[in-house]
């Protein structure tokens, strides 16, 4: 058996043990639901990412580290590409928890607009919900301070 298959199997087992889920197909209705502030009664990060985006993986790594240290928020990931068998590998390697979505059959532009009408496709794109109706969208690599402030969480001592 090739080492790649062993690593992929191990990552799948780790992801399954950590509560990672299968991808749900995203259409415009589901996208609108994902980014509706009333859907988020606790601080939530919605991370838009792509498997080829290096900076997306930096943000995801930060979110995972923060989630391990402080379970005071939820993490939802949205792959801005169609689901293929290998799409979960980057998330599994980082042990990214939470709901996972991938673009469905509708046009990418329509799905992107449903997620964030002000978004022009740049990645990474992160939408923060404070759990009290507040919503902030940020493009680019974020810092822990930005995440905490956007989620309304206290700064680390």
Nearest to 44 by CA among 99, 87, 83, 104: 99
Alpha-carbon distance of 60 to 84, in angstroms, equals 19
Nearest to 122 by CA among 27, 32, 53, 62: 53
The whole model's pTM is what? 0.85
pLDDT of 154 reads 81
pLDDT of 157 reads 53
The pair of three-digit structure tokens given for residue 25, joined into one six-digit string: 């197909």
Residues 133-149 as b/e (b if ≥16 CB within 10 A, e otherwise) read eebebebeebeeebbbe
CATH for 3-151 (1.10.540.10, 3.30.420.40, 3.40.30.10, 3.40.190.80): 3.40.30.10
Residue-range domain boundaries for the chain: 3-151
pLDDT of 6 reads 39
Alpha helical stretches, state H, the chain: 3-17, 28-34, 54-69, 89-94, 108-115, 144-151
Rg of the chain over all Cα atoms, to the nearest angstrom:
15
Query: Which three-class secondary structure state does DSSP give residue 16?
Result: helix
Phi first, then psi: what are they for 79, rounded to 5°?
Answer: -75, 125
Per-residue pLDDT of the chain in tens (157 residues, 90 and over written 9)? 455 433 333 443 444 444 446 999 999 999 999 999 999 999 999 999 999 999 999 999 999 999 999 889 999 999 999 999 999 999 999 999 999 999 999 999 999 999 999 999 999 999 999 999 999 999 999 999 999 999 999 876 5
Question: How far lies 54's CA from each of 19, 102, 134, 145, 147, in Å?
Answer: 24, 18, 28, 21, 19
pLDDT of 70 reads 83
């Amino acid at each position: 058996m090739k080492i790649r298959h062993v690593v992929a199997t191990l990552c799948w087992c780790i992801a399954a043990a950590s509560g990672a889920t299968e991808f749900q197909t995203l259409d415009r209705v589901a996208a609108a639901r994902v980014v509706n502030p009333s859907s988020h009664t606790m601080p939530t990060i919605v991370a838009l990412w792509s498997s080829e985006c290096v900076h997306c993986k930096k943000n995801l790594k930060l979110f995972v580290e923060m989630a391990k240290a402080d379970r005071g928020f939820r993490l939802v990931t949205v792959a801005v590409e169609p689901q293929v068998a290998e799409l979960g590998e980057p998330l599994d390697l980082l042990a990214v928890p939470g709901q996972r979505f991938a673009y469905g059959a509708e046009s990418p532009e329509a799905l992107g607009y449903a997620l964030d009408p002000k978004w022009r496709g740049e990645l990474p794109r992160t939408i923060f919900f404070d759990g009290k109706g507040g919503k902030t969208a940020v493009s680019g690599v974020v810092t822990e301070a930005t995440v905490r402030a956007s989620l309304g969480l206290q700064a680390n001592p």
